[in-house]
Chains A and B, each alone.
Chain A
Amino acid sequence: MLIRKRRGGEGYLPSSEITPYELYLDRRRFIAQGAALAAGAAMGAAAAPDALAGLAPPRAGTPQEEKLTSYEDITTYNNFYEFGAQKDDPWRNSGPFRPLPWSVQVEGECNNPGTFALEDFLRGHEVVEPVYRLRCVEAWSMVIPWRGVRLRDVIVRAQPHGNARFVEMTTVVRPSEMIGQRHPILRWPYIEGLRLDEAMNELTILATGIYGKDLLNQNGAPLRLVVPWKYGFKSIKSIVKFRFTRDMPENTWQTMAPDEYGFYSNVNPDVDHPRWSQARERRIGEFRRRPTLMFNGYEEQVAHMYRGMDLRRWY
């Protein structure tokens, strides 16, 4: 598979984003070879010397220096209330769920609404494989090698109108296959949303895979959002609908407990959850808590979108 550096990229694109699956499997070799070599291998013969130069060595704190969470942990420890509220429920209960065939609805303020088969919805978009931290609002975290497409590309194809300011996303409702949906533990369907500039940010992807494999049901098969600088619940799973809106969508957790969960839900060590601290987190697989980073460590890529905003008010 050819993975190219994006046109017009500012050169910040972490080399982790283009590390192929083979290299995830052998981290020791990856380290031994060095990031530049690994990047070179990933870029293949097409890589021009200046493109390589643009890929700076990993900065401190980027996931390259953080251990990937094991596939087993990623697939057995999940919050996906559609399959139950315990961490192992999604893994245990998601067997009956049938993610394929799948279709996606695009509606609202856009020029190209419609219902699309998942293959058509994804066709033609560049595949990206970023490694992102995932920080749950419950103060645990993982490092996950995703595969997917940029949400930006999907949005460009939908051609939102000038007055569209938000994109709202909806999870499938199938109580017969999703045991958690048989109880009103949350208001079904699960709804999430992003401001359009957040959705268009280069980091935001629609994931279809983890560790080079198709998403398992418990991880939000066949299509889920990944917004790495926001708490995990923003990364809505098993998406069936995208709707472009003028008004801020009412995301599920905000409607459940508005004083605890806001629309933005950016990872922020300085703004505590009303009931617990967000200053530290437990990385799955580690013993001691580690400090939580502003915007989950993606400050450089996303902070500009919130300049001038009171992040205590817009939590």
Chain B
Amino acid sequence: MVLKRRVLLLKTGIWLLGLTPLGWAVYRFFLGDGFGANPIAELQLWGGLTSLTALLAALSVTPLRRLTGWNDLQKVRRLVGLFAFFYVTLHFLIWIGLDQVFGWQYILEDLRERPYIMIGFAGFVLLLPLALTSTKGWIRRLGRRWVTLHRLIYVAALCGIVHYYLVTKADDRWPTFALGVWGVAMTMRVAWWLKGRSRAGRTLRTAAPSPG
């Protein structure tokens, strides 16, 4: 009961945190500066930055849990990931609906010819199966393969960072910062994986080999 309440509180916190960028955008649109002189471009920037932040937050959940030993975090990892998917989708829809106003010939041309669009779109597409298989039923059905499949988020986040680099004209301190966060989160995973493997190796030598 106590445990459940703790997790519930944490989940509520993530919901509030996850909806904050959206609430802030709605506030800014109606009561603030209306996203300035070029609202569509500014909305795009907002959507992109929020997406990337959420993706990196999702990637950081596991390292944070392992570093702090705060194991409840594992229970909100999926929620954080879904928020990331939500904002990436919003970012995508702003492009289709507001920026291009459903001008399909321009959209297709961009998808064919512009590397930053291609790679951003690739990141979005990679997230689709993850969002679709985020239900309890699919987790059960896929078993071990679910974990493997969901590693695609590493690639998707990297796509987002490259996409960010490619739209930046000169000041790439922010995309570099994002790449740094991604790098740290990934390095920790690889280090733990290597450590786990060498430990498993030692275990394997002593135990009878089993058909995996």
Say how far A20's CB is from chain B's closest CB, in angstroms: 25
Q: With A185-B171, A277-B110, A282-B41 in contact, is A76–B116 under 8 Å at CB?
A: no
CB-defined contacts of B115 to chain A, threshold 8 Å: 275
CB-defined contacts of B26 to chain A, threshold 8 Å: none
The answer to whether A256 has its CB under 8 Å from any CB of chain B is yes
Interface SS of chain B: helix, strand, loop or mixed?
helix
Interface SS of chain A: helix, strand, loop or mixed?
loop
B 108-126 contacts with A by CB, 8 A: 109-110, 113-116
B114 touches A85 (CB 8 A): no
1/0 contact string of A152-189 vs chain B (CB within 8 Å): 00000000000000000000000000000001011000
The answer to whether A87 has its CB under 8 Å from any CB of chain B is yes
The answer to whether A214 has its CB under 8 Å from any CB of chain B is no
Looking across the interface, which residue of chain B has its beta carbon closest to that of A252? B170
A88 touches B167 (CB 8 A): no
Give Cα A31 to B38, complex, Å.
Answer: 27
B36 touches A76 (CB 8 A): yes
Q: Which of A138, A275, A277, A285 has the most CB of B within 10 A?
A: A275
The answer to whether A73 has its CB under 8 Å from any CB of chain B is yes
The answer to whether A298 has its CB under 8 Å from any CB of chain B is no
The answer to whether B40 has its CB under 8 Å from any CB of chain A is yes
Q: Which of B37, B110, B114, B170 contacts A284 (CB 8 A)?
A: B37
The answer to whether A7 has its CB under 8 Å from any CB of chain B is no
The answer to whether B4 has its CB under 8 Å from any CB of chain A is no
Give Cα A138 to B173, complex, Å.
Answer: 19
Give Cα A138 to B169, complex, Å.
Answer: 9
The answer to whether A276 has its CB under 8 Å from any CB of chain B is yes
The answer to whether A140 has its CB under 8 Å from any CB of chain B is yes
Q: With A277-B109, A288-B101 in contact, is A87–B167 under 8 Å at CB?
A: no
B36 touches A88 (CB 8 A): yes
A85 touches B171 (CB 8 A): yes
Give Cα A183 to B173, complex, Å.
Answer: 10
The answer to whether B166 has its CB under 8 Å from any CB of chain A is yes
Give Cα A256 to B168, complex, Å.
Answer: 13
Say how far B205's CB is from chain A's closest CB, in angstroms: 53
CB-defined contacts of A87 to chain B, threshold 8 Å: 36-38, 42
Say how far A69's CB is from chain B's closest CB, in angstroms: 8
CB-defined contacts of A138 to chain B, threshold 8 Å: 169
Q: Which of A77, A88, A282 contacts B40 (CB 8 A)?
A: A282
Looking across the interface, which residue of chain B has its beta carbon closest to that of A81? B170
A 185-222 contacts with B by CB, 8 A: 185-186
1/0 contact string of B129-172 vs chain A (CB within 8 Å): 00000000000000000000000000000000000001101110
B 91-118 contacts with A by CB, 8 A: 101, 106, 109-110, 113-116
CB-defined contacts of A88 to chain B, threshold 8 Å: 36
Looking across the interface, which residue of chain B has its beta carbon closest to that of A140? B38
1/0 contact string of A47-85 vs chain B (CB within 8 Å): 000000000000000000000000011001100010001
A-B contact pairs, 14 of them (CB 8 A): A77-B37, A77-B38, A87-B36, A87-B37, A88-B36, A140-B41, A275-B116, A275-B166, A276-B114, A276-B116, A277-B106, A277-B109, A282-B38, A285-B37
Known: A85-B169, A85-B171, A87-B38. 6 other contacts (CB 8 A): A73-B37, A185-B170, A276-B114, A280-B106, A282-B40, A287-B40
**B-side interface residues toward A, CB under 8 Å?**
36-38, 40-42, 101, 106, 109-110, 113-116, 166-167, 169-171, 173
